[in-house]
Structure 1
C-alpha cells in the first residue's frame, strides 16, 4: 500500500516542460499561445491544439511590451499551473495524517470511557482484571460495608414469608458453626422473584443489614459491554473481591439482563451476553458457600432465565416476593405513615381494602400523595380523605378541574356510571360500591365507579367472574336503554370484559365446550401477563365465538336488570349529575328506599 503513495509518484512523468524565452516569443508570433500565466519569476503557458496537454514554463525577462503582444496574438490570461508539494511529502501526509487523527480521537474517547466507568462512588478493584485497560474490566459494584445499608427486616413490611426464608441466611452468616457442626451447607444463591415494586432490592439490603456483612450491589445491565470479554472480566473481578471480603452478600439486580436462556443466536452462540453468563455460571460453581459468600439476585422475569442458572447448586432457593395481601398492605401503609404527620383517626384498613393489587412502592406513593394533598389544603396533618383521594390519583390520575364537558355528556356519563353501580348492587357475588364520580381525571377517565371488597379474596368462582363481566357491560347497557345510542366511553370496559371472558374459556376451565383444557399460556406473569394461544386455528376461531357469546349473554342480563330498575336508574343518575360524586352509602340508601307513589284523588 505504501508503494502506491510514495514510490510510484517518483517515476510518473511530469506534465510540466521547461522552455527558453525565445521559443516562448516564437509561439507568440505564430499565435499558438492558448492561455498564459505570468508570475514574479516564471511564465506558464499552454498551446492551442496541443494533443499532449502539457504546460510549458519559461523565465521572466525585462519585456515591457509582452502583455500587448500576447493580447494581440489572441492569448488568454488565466490560471495555468499551481506549484505542487513534493510528491513524497504529499504521499506521506495523505497516508499517515488520517491514521494520526483516528488514533487521537480513539485515545480521547477511551479516556472519557475510563472516567465514566471508574467513578468515586464505586468500589476500586484490582488492575489485573482489566487487561491493562484501566477500569473497563472492573465490576463497578457499589459496596456497603457492615450495616451501612441502613436497612433491616424492620424496614420491610408485608413480606413475612420472604423474610422468614431469608432469616436462615442471616443466621448462617452470624452463626456458621452450628451449621458446620451438623454438616449442613448454606444455599449458594437465592433468587427473589416477583412483580416490580414489591421490595426485592429492599429485602436484599435488609439481609445485609441484619447480618452486618459487606454488601455488594450491582445491576445486571452493568455487566453488558460493547467490548467483547469485558462483561466476563467484571464477573471475575466481582467474585474475586467477594471472596476477599467474605463473609459477604453479593446482590445482582435484574439478573435476567445477563441470565437469559442461551439460544445460540448470537455469533454462533458466543456473543458477549453468553460469555458473561458462562463466566457467572463458572464462578458460582467455583466458590464455596461455607466460606460465607451468599449470592442474591432479583428478577421479575424468572421464566426467561437459563435453566443452568436456576438449577440446585447455583440458585438453590427461589423466594417469591408477591403483591401484599390485605394485612400486608395495611402494615406497609402504617410503616410508611410513621414518617408522616397523620391524624389519629385514620382507618388504614379501609385504605388497604381500597388499594387491592397495589405493590409496596405504590402504597408508599399513596402515603406521599396524601401528604402532598394535605400541604395543598394548608393542613398540618394527613386525614382520611387525603389518603382516599390519593388512591384515586394513583388509579385514575388528578382531577381535571378545568375540563369543559357539555351538560349532555355529563348526563351520559352519569347514567353510564350508575349503570355499572346498579348492576353491581343487584348481583350477589360482586364487591360493594364504594364511590361513584363523574369528575374527569387526567388518565382519561370521564368518571368511574369504585368497588371495594369487604374481605381479601383469593379465589374467583365462575359465577363471580360472569357477574364481573355483567358489571363491565352495565355502563354501555345504560346508554343503550336511556339514550338509544352508544358512545366511546365504554372502551376500557370492553377491553376488561373481553380479557376476563377469554381467560374463563382458555385458562380457567370455565367453559362447557372446552372444559379443563389449557388453550392459552401466560408470558411474563409479573410484567403485564401477556398471553399467547396454544391451539390450532380452528380452535382459535371457536374460542372467539365462545368469547363473543359469553359477553353477549352478560350484556343481555345486565340490560334486563337496568330495564327492571329503570326508575331507580333515573333517580340515581339525576342525583349523581347534581352532586358529581356520591358515596356507596348514599347510593345504597337511594336504591333501597321505597319509590315515591304519586298521590291519587278519589272521584265520586
Structure 2
C-alpha cells in the first residue's frame, strides 16, 4: 500500500472518530445527572431529600430520594462536609481526575490548517514540476545514470569517426588525469556537440561516459527555466554541487540553446530568469572557483543563437560537429541497427546505404524498424531486401495510395509526365542514373521518378545544374507535346517551384550569371533579428532585382527548351516508356533500359511489382519529381541533392 492510500485511510479514520465523539457527548452528560446550583442543593440536604453523595474535588454528584441524579459545583470556602454530616448524608470521597490532553480535539482543531498546508504543498509541486518537497524547487533535476544496465560504448556509435576521435581525449583524461597533468596540460572543460537532429549527439555523450566508466548526469536545457526568477540559477549551483561530490563525472545538457541564447536579444531585459540562469552557468564553468574533474558536454542544432561568452575558450573549448553520415558511415550504422534483426541472405547494407543519401542515424534506425514491421505483417521469419526497399520508399515518399481511384485519362497523363522526366534524365550531359519510375500515387504525389547517385556529392557543377533544370521541366514539356498547350495541367507546380529555386540560387548565391557576376544577393540566413534581415533584403535596387529575375527566367526557359529538344529527338523512346508505365505501373532503372531496347520486363505471377534495383544498387534516393495532385495545390518538395543549398548538398 503506497503513501497516498495510507493518507486517505488516516483521514477517514480521523473523520469517523470525530463523528463518534460528537454522538457520544450528549449521552455522557445525561448519565452524570442534572446540573443544579449550590443553594438548591443545600435546601435538598436540609429537607432530607439527599441520602448519599460523592465528592470529587469541588464537584458533588448524588441521587435524591425520588431517584433523580444531580450534580453540583461547590464554592471554594464552603464547609459542605459538616452540614452533610449534620443531616445524616452518606459521604463518599474520591480523588479528582486530572483532565488529560485530548489528542482528538487537537487534531480536529488543527485539521483545517493542515489541510491548507497540504493543498499549498501540492500546488507548489505542480508548479515546479514535481520538485523535491515544497521548498525543493531550487534543487537540480539532473538525473544520475551509473550505466549499470544498458551501458553504451563507442562500439555502439558508428558513422561519426571524427567526433569520436575528438572525444576520445576526454575519455583518456577521465581514466588517467595524471597523464596530461604531468606535462601541464589541461583538459577542455566543455565540449559542444553540433549537428542536425537525429545524428546521435546524445548517444555519443552516453558513449563517452560508458567508455570512461564515470557517473553521467543528464538534464535538458528547459529544466533550468522556471516562472520564478532565480530558480534556474539555484538549480545550476545545485547541479554542480552534486557533480563535485561524484567527480570525476560528466554533465550532459541537451538542447542547451533553451537556456544559452544570446543575452539582450529578448524583451525581458537583463534580469529575467533565463539570463540569470545563463550567467550562473557561465560562472560555474569558468569562474573563481575551479570545478576540477567535471566535464560539461552539451548538444544543440542551433549554435548560431548561443551566447558568445558560452563558446569562448575555458568554457566550451571545443565544438564537435556531428554531421549526417556519408555512405560508409550509413553502412556501419545500418549494421549496428541490424544486430537484433534476422536478415535474409540477399540483404546488402552497402546497397541500402548507397540509396539513402542525407539520412541521419535516426532515419536509418527508423528504416530498419519499418522493414522489420513490414516483414512481420507479411508473416515472414526473416527480413529480406524487398522489405528494405519498400520501407525505404515508404519513409521517403509515404505509403502507396493504391486505394486512390484514378481515371484512365489521369493515368495516361501521369505516365507521359513521368516518362518525360525519365527520358530527359537519360539524355542530359550530366545526371545521376535513373533508379525507378512509377505512376503509383504515394503521399501527395501521383507519380515520381527517382535517381540514384553513384556516391555522396558535396557540390554540383554548372553542367549538373542546367541538366537538372531540364529534367525538372521534362514533365511539363511532355504534357504539352502529348496533349497540347490547352490541356497542360497543374501537375508541374512542384517542378516549376524547384526549378525556380535552383535557378535563383545559381544567380544570387553561386555566381553562375555573367550579367549579375559573382555577387551574393541571397538573404542572410544567419541573422537573428527580422528587422536586420528585412534591411538586407531591401538593399537590392530595383534595377538589380530586374536583372536577377531576367537571368532566372533565362535559366528556367533554357531548361525548358533543352527538355523539348530531347523529347522531340527521342519521341519513340518517350512513347515506349509511357506505354510501359501504363502497363507495369513501376519500372526499375534496368527495366527501363531493357524496355527501350525492346526487351519487356519479366513479371512473376505472385509478385506484381519487381522493385529491386538490379545492378544499379536497388536503393531509393532523393525524389527527382513529384507529380502534384492538382486537388491539393502544393507539392511535397524533394530532398537531398536537388535542394538548392550552397555547395549543392
Q: Which residue of 2 aligns with 1:88?
A: none
Name the CA shift for 1:272/1:290 in 2 (closer, same or farther; >3 Å).
closer
CA distance in 2, matches of 1:249, 1:302: 21
Deviation at 1:486, TM superposition (A): 2.2
CA distance in 1, matches of 2:157, 2:187: 23
Confirm or deny that 1:257 pairs with 2:258. Answer: yes
Alignment RMSD (CA, Å):
2.5
CA distance in 1, matches of 2:116, 2:218: 34
Conserved? CA contact 1:420–1:473, under 8 Å: yes
Q: Which residue of 2 aligns with 1:173?
A: 174
Helix, strand or coil for the counterpart of 1:182? coil
Confirm or deny that 1:145 pairs with 2:146. Answer: yes
CA distance in 2, matches of 1:359, 1:264: 32
Confirm or deny that 1:497 pairs with 2:508. Answer: no
CA distance in 1, matches of 2:288, 2:359: 39
Q: Which residue of 2 aligns with 1:425?
A: 426
Name the CA shift for 1:503/1:178 in 2 (closer, same or farther; >3 Å).
same
CA distance in 2, matches of 1:337, 1:520: 43
Q: Which residue of 2 aligns with 1:574?
A: 579
Deviation at 1:264, TM superposition (A): 5.1
Greater relative contact order: 1 or 2 (C-alpha under 8 angstroms, separation 6 or more)? 2
Helix, strand or coil for the counterpart of 1:569? helix
Q: Which residue of 2 aligns with 1:357?
A: 358
Q: Which residue of 2 aligns with 1:549?
A: 554
**What pairs with 1:349-428 in structure 2 (closer than 5 Å)?**
349-428=350-429
Helix, strand or coil for the counterpart of 1:449? strand
CA distance in 2, matches of 1:522, 1:369: 38
Deviation at 1:488, TM superposition (A): 2.3
Helix, strand or coil for the counterpart of 2:235? helix
Moved over 6 A (4+): 103-107, 287-290
Conserved? CA contact 1:476–1:490, under 8 Å: yes
1:311-336 CA distances to partner (integer Å, 9 max, x unpaired)? Answer: 11111100110011010111111111
Q: Which residue of 2 aligns with 1:480?
A: 480
Conserved? CA contact 1:185–1:289, under 8 Å: no
Confirm or deny that 1:329 pairs with 2:330. Answer: yes
Question: Which of 119, 122, 136 is the aligned partner of 1:108?
Answer: 119
Conserved? CA contact 2:437–2:450, under 8 Å: yes
Q: Which residue of 2 aligns with 1:59?
A: none
Deviation at 1:493, TM superposition (A): 1.9
Name the CA shift for 1:214/1:149 in 2 (closer, same or farther; >3 Å).
farther
Helix, strand or coil for the counterpart of 1:252? strand
CA distance in 1, matches of 2:576, 2:418: 13
Q: Which residue of 1 aligns with 2:462?
A: 462
CA distance in 2, matches of 1:197, 1:187: 25
Conserved? CA contact 1:258–1:276, under 8 Å: yes
Deviation at 1:422, TM superposition (A): 0.8
Give the TM-score of the pair, scaled to structure 1: 0.75
CA distance in 1, matches of 2:259, 2:117: 28
**What pairs with 1:211-230 in structure 2 (closer than 5 Å)?**
211-230=212-231
Q: Which residue of 2 aligns with 1:536?
A: 540
Q: Which residue of 2 aligns with 1:342?
A: 343
CA distance in 2, matches of 1:580, 1:433: 16
Deviation at 1:577, TM superposition (A): 0.8
CA distance in 2, matches of 1:566, 1:247: 72
Conserved? CA contact 2:429–2:463, under 8 Å: no
Q: Which residue of 1 aligns with 2:513?
A: 511
Deviation at 1:401, TM superposition (A): 1.9
Deviation at 1:180, TM superposition (A): 0.2
Conserved? CA contact 1:173–1:292, under 8 Å: yes
User: Where does structure 2 lack aligned partners over 5 or more consecutive residues?
Assistant: 1-111, 528-532, 601-649
User: Where does structure 1 lack aligned partners over 5 or more consecutive residues?
Assistant: 1-100, 128-132, 526-530, 596-604
Conserved? CA contact 1:194–1:320, under 8 Å: yes
Deviation at 1:227, TM superposition (A): 1.3
1:537-587 CA distances to partner (integer Å, 9 max, x unpaired)? Answer: 423443233222211111111121111111211111011011011110011
Deviation at 1:117, TM superposition (A): 4.9
Q: Which residue of 1 aligns with 2:204?
A: 203
Deviation at 1:431, TM superposition (A): 0.6
Helix, strand or coil for the counterpart of 1:137? coil
Helix, strand or coil for the counterpart of 2:317? strand
Conserved? CA contact 1:147–1:213, under 8 Å: no
1:223-242 CA distances to partner (integer Å, 9 max, x unpaired)? Answer: 11111111111111111111
Conserved? CA contact 1:187–1:289, under 8 Å: no
Q: Which residue of 2 aligns with 1:446?
A: 446
Q: Which residue of 2 aligns with 1:276?
A: 277
Name the CA shift for 1:521/1:136 in 2 (closer, same or farther; >3 Å).
same
Helix, strand or coil for the counterpart of 1:291? coil
1:461-486 CA distances to partner (integer Å, 9 max, x unpaired)? Answer: 11112211221111111111111232
CA distance in 2, matches of 1:505, 1:343: 49
Deviation at 1:289, TM superposition (A): 7.3
CA distance in 2, matches of 1:390, 1:291: 49
CA distance in 2, matches of 1:593, 1:206: 55
CA distance in 2, matches of 1:572, 1:293: 65
Q: Which residue of 2 aligns with 1:91?
A: none
Stretch of structure 1 that moved more, 486-495 or 109-118:
109-118
Conserved? CA contact 2:193–2:300, under 8 Å: yes
Name the CA shift for 1:238/1:540 in 2 (closer, same or farther; >3 Å).
farther
Q: Which residue of 2 aligns with 1:52?
A: none
Helix, strand or coil for the counterpart of 2:436? strand
Helix, strand or coil for the counterpart of 2:473? helix
Helix, strand or coil for the counterpart of 1:450? strand
Equivalences, count: 478
Q: Which residue of 2 aligns with 1:523?
A: 525
Conserved? CA contact 2:521–2:540, under 8 Å: no
Give the TM-score of the pair, scaled to structure 2: 0.70
Name the CA shift for 1:265/1:372 in 2 (closer, same or farther; >3 Å).
closer
1:378-431 CA distances to partner (integer Å, 9 max, x unpaired)? Answer: 111111111111111011111112111111111111111111111111013111
